[in-house]
Structure 1
Amino acid sequence: MTRTSTPRRPARRVLAFAVALALTPLTACSAGSLGSSSDSSGDGTTITWLTGADETAQATAKSIVAAFEKANPGITVKLDGKPAGGDGDNLVKTRLQTGSMADVFDYNSGSLFQQIAPEKNLTKLTGDDAVAKVDDSYDAQVSVGQDMYGVPYGTAFGGGVMYNKKVFEQLGIQVPQTWAEFTAAADKIKAAGIAPVIQTYGETWTAQLPILGDFHNIAAAEPDWAEDYTANKAKDATDPVALAGFQHLQEIHDKGWANADFASAKVPDGMRLLADGKGAMYPILSGNITTLAQAAPDKVNDVGFFALPGTDAATNGLTAWFPNGVYIPNTTKDAKLEASKKLLAFIASPAGCDAQSQASPPTGPYLVEGCTLPSDVPQVTKDVQAYFDADKQSPALEFLSPVKGPNLEQICVEVGSGITPATDAAKLYDQDVQKQAQQLGLEGW
């Protein structure tokens, strides 16, 4: 994927609300059973919700629908399925453009949300009961100016480092808050015969995390960086703070910190190394705790999570990815509009959060007032929650800028494999970004 997009792996989705396998769209079902979409259900109202067609997305939506219909017996919700990735994006945009969108649909938040022309296509929810319990940190991800259009669906997650707590305890290592502390820890771990930093280039998207997860440090040092980046006034290759992520990736290779099989290892392999204490630190998205749970279910709580450190411990914090949003197109009218708003209000409520948790264990915090995590969530999830509780997080770049380049993961693999130096890689990515920005017709490019 890209510097400004959530890294993807084939047929995966890190959160309960996510999309995975690309299945045939338009499979309709209501709270778990197949059926066709109609305008009414007895004397009540029927609305349709377009969501992911994969098993996880459907299971989560069905759990919500079952609880919602029980609380709102006059409303029936039918589910439509959409494919993952670009096909799903195209389906959403086509339906909005043709006025054929379902009454409710879920889609990206952040910069990708801006690409579906919210002012033209969506129903404003500012001040409505539907958004009353949404956490302030999420507002900007589904807003244009002062107008808010959606509610969070699923949980937030972070880009940082999963680490083996037992290895840290045995070696007397504290969680690093600066890169200097990180390097000292890595050297100590290597001296103990353990791979300090796990890399899994068998799934190339994972190579990006030392860069993607470093954005909080860029934003802390240069608050206007995302805006300047979008305007072609800031570059990775010429800004020392932005270049640091590329340099850290090179350092991992040059100091021999990576596991021996880094070139072919995949995420489950990395998780097993981490769980077994054969690797100590794994730069990864926190949502991949689900993979850890599958690879080593008895060792999930041996693993914690910390944000990628920068130069200043005082500003250390998490680069956060925010949940998708649920939206109402402006073609939804009258009784269906009122029913749709009730569904959104339910999703963004403690009852809605509980319904999601029942379908799939949360991998991060719900950004809804009154929602709490189950007591038995993994330590990684608790650690991510702590950054939100302390307000020590900032959005990943993809939520602040539409500027993208498609080749970041390949460039990162080359840096992490010792093929391309960090400075050259940053220049290559700046060129990659320029092509994409020009295709988008952005000013200044």
Structure 2
Amino acid sequence: MTIRSRWTLAVVAAGSLALTACSAGSLGSSDDSGGGSVEITYLITNQEQDLKEAEQLAKDFHAKYPDLTVKVETRPAGTEGDNIIKTRLSTGDMPEVFNYNTGSLFQAIAPQKNLLPVNDEPYIGDLDENFKKTVTADGQVYGVPVGGFMGGAVLYNIPVYTKLGLKPPRTWAEFMANSAKIKAAGIAPVIQTYGETWTSQLFVLGDFHNVATAEPDFADRYTKNQAKYATSPAALKGFEHTQAVHDAGYENPDFASAKLPDGLRMLAQGKGAQYPILSGVVADMVATHPDAAKNVGLFALPGDDASKNGLTVWTPGALYIPKTTADAKLDAAKKFLAFVASPEGCKSQASVGAPTGPYAVKGCELPDDVPQAIKDMQPYLDQQGASSLALEFVSPVKGPSLEQITVEVGSGIRKAKDGAARYDEDVKKQAQQLGLAGW
């Protein structure tokens, strides 16, 4: 299972709402038959934060366009939600606007057949290039971003770094040197929380910027079964780093049983100094440990070359318009997408929850009170070549067992080369099920 889908499931388990047609986001008249008023429906997942943001967007959109109303409807997340999306598209029963994944899962819903392209919309030049890649099929762009990027990175305790005179590393050698000094100070250098196995994958999946920098065509060759983790020196390093941290004794003593909340607590309290994880966990950490907003920073997983240091990013989800949208409602749907893909839309979302990372729309600025770790992501996105999409956004090839394999490598049960080879075998079945050439 990918980090993205596992994170989604974790959030759903923590606080989801029952499937329902929710009209809380609807304001004003719902009559679209007279007086020029039009109502459109916006379908989202039933995660609590998604619902809050959707209702706020609906409210603020209606305030700008009093004759246009957005009704919010929810669906489950995960596989059940994926099946609902595919079914409603195939039966022509999809609402005027819906929120769905980007990358390989976007490609799986046949965008050329089912979705309306937005290439000609005036905001298209304001969308982040990394994001546009994940919603493009046959040269056509189909979606606009909602929410912020997430980074696969290392969260670090700033007071610990300051006390020990350390700087965020830009190479793996510097990272290991920092870790040695942290261990000598009696603090756990690298927090690992294998009690929740999905968290074990960051040294591999978060390292993809370094892979893509060293081997720019890796994703394409990987998709064609022409490149492997076990035989690519650049791709193998993620497994080697996972092993190296364990072999050096840099993990927290309870790494095998600790879970995400334990890791966040250790980091916030300075009992652990560095935590490879998704930036999406920052909001939960700050909610429980408010001082972490200023005491925890973020740096990209370092590779071999400091001059090419950069961040692996997970793009936000996107809003799409199905081709089945009635002509009478199409203009309203287009205006809603334009509103979401604007500084006004970003401000609306930020008013009900801290962003997971920088927005994918030019002109959208992070709030001043955003946690330091989220602020630390922005320079990577602003600098040309300092960020890369996670592999799952540029290749459909992925396997379900990576998190178990990285737990084994990070626990000393399996060597890095063996773990990489096992993952290469793990992805084969799915690639064959997808009918990819070369498998």
Percentage of identical aligned residues: 55
Determine the structure 2 residue equivalent to 1:12.
11
Write the deviation string for residues 195-239 of structure 1: whole angstroms up to 9, x where unpaired.
000001111100001111000000000000000000000000111
Contact 2:293–2:370 (Cα < 8 Å) also in 1: no
1:24 Cα deviation from its structure 2 partner:
4.2
Q: How does 1:141-220 map to 2 (within 5 A)?
A: 141-220=134-213
The whole-number CA distance in structure 2 between the counterparts of 1:328 and 1:352 is 17
1:111 Cα deviation from its structure 2 partner:
1.5
Determine the structure 2 residue equivalent to 1:296.
289
Quick one: structure 1 residues 397 and 228, their matched pair in 2 at CA, closer, same or farther if it must change by over 3 Å? Answer: same
Structure 1 regions of 5+ residues with no counterpart? 14-18
Q: How does 1:9-408 map to 2 (within 5 A)?
A: 10-12=9-11, 23-31=17-25, 40=33, 43-129=36-122, 131-391=124-384, 392-408=386-402
Contact 2:16–2:48 (Cα < 8 Å) also in 1: no
1:423 Cα deviation from its structure 2 partner:
1.0
Q: Over the residues paired in the alignment, what is the CA RMSD in angstroms?
A: 1.9
Contact 2:29–2:37 (Cα < 8 Å) also in 1: no
SS in 2 for 1:314: helix
Q: Which moved more, 1:136-145 or 1:363-372?
A: 136-145
Contact 1:131–1:345 (Cα < 8 Å) also in 2: no
Write the deviation string for residues 131-152 of structure 1: whole angstroms up to 9, x where unpaired.
3532333211111132111100
Quick one: structure 1 residues 290 and 185, their matched pair in 2 at CA, closer, same or farther if it must change by over 3 Å? Answer: same
Determine the structure 2 residue equivalent to 1:440.
434
Quick one: structure 1 residues 41 and 202, their matched pair in 2 at CA, closer, same or farther if it must change by over 3 Å? Answer: farther
Write the deviation string for residues 96-124 of structure 1: whole angstroms up to 9, x where unpaired.
01111011001001121111000000001
Q: Report the AA paired with residue 205 of structure 1.
A: W
* Count of residues paired in the alignment: 438
Contact 1:138–1:367 (Cα < 8 Å) also in 2: yes
Match of 1:420 among 408, 414, 417: 414
Quick one: structure 1 residues 61 and 41, their matched pair in 2 at CA, closer, same or farther if it must change by over 3 Å? Answer: farther
Q: Report the AA paired with residue 28 of structure 1.
A: C
The whole-number CA distance in structure 1 between the counterparts of 2:34 and 2:389 is 41
Write the deviation string for residues 315-372 of structure 1: whole angstroms up to 9, x where unpaired.
1100011111100000002121110000000000111001000011112111112111
Contact 2:26–2:69 (Cα < 8 Å) also in 1: no
Quick one: structure 1 residues 79 and 114, their matched pair in 2 at CA, closer, same or farther if it must change by over 3 Å? Answer: same
Q: Report the AA paired with residue 401 of structure 1.
A: S
The whole-number CA distance in structure 1 between the counterparts of 2:162 and 2:362 is 35
SS in 1 for 2:11: coil
Quick one: structure 1 residues 155 and 40, their matched pair in 2 at CA, closer, same or farther if it must change by over 3 Å? Answer: farther
The whole-number CA distance in structure 2 between the counterparts of 1:276 and 1:432 is 38
Determine the structure 2 residue equivalent to 1:16.
none
Quick one: structure 1 residues 9 and 128, their matched pair in 2 at CA, closer, same or farther if it must change by over 3 Å? Answer: closer
Contact 1:2–1:406 (Cα < 8 Å) also in 2: yes
The whole-number CA distance in structure 1 between the counterparts of 2:83 and 2:117 is 23
Q: Report the AA paired with residue 7 of structure 2.
A: R
Structure 2 regions of 5+ residues with no counterpart? none
Write the deviation string for residues 361-392 of structure 1: whole angstroms up to 9, x where unpaired.
11211111211111111110110111111231
The whole-number CA distance in structure 1 between the counterparts of 2:34 and 2:47 is 26
1:94 Cα deviation from its structure 2 partner:
0.6
The whole-number CA distance in structure 2 between the counterparts of 1:422 and 1:38 is 62
SS in 2 for 1:29: coil
Q: Report the AA paired with residue 115 of structure 1.
A: A
Q: Report the AA paired with residue 399 of structure 2.
A: G
Taking structure 1 as the reference length, the TM-score comes to 0.94
Q: Report the AA paired with residue 320 of structure 1.
A: V
Quick one: structure 1 residues 41 and 182, their matched pair in 2 at CA, closer, same or farther if it must change by over 3 Å? Answer: farther
1:6 Cα deviation from its structure 2 partner:
5.1
Write the deviation string for residues 43-69 of structure 1: whole angstroms up to 9, x where unpaired.
411111101122211110000000000
Contact 2:154–2:275 (Cα < 8 Å) also in 1: yes
Quick one: structure 1 residues 22 and 438, their matched pair in 2 at CA, closer, same or farther if it must change by over 3 Å? Answer: farther
Write the deviation string for residues 407-434 of structure 1: whole angstroms up to 9, x where unpaired.
1111111111111111111111000001
1:2 aligns with 2:2: yes
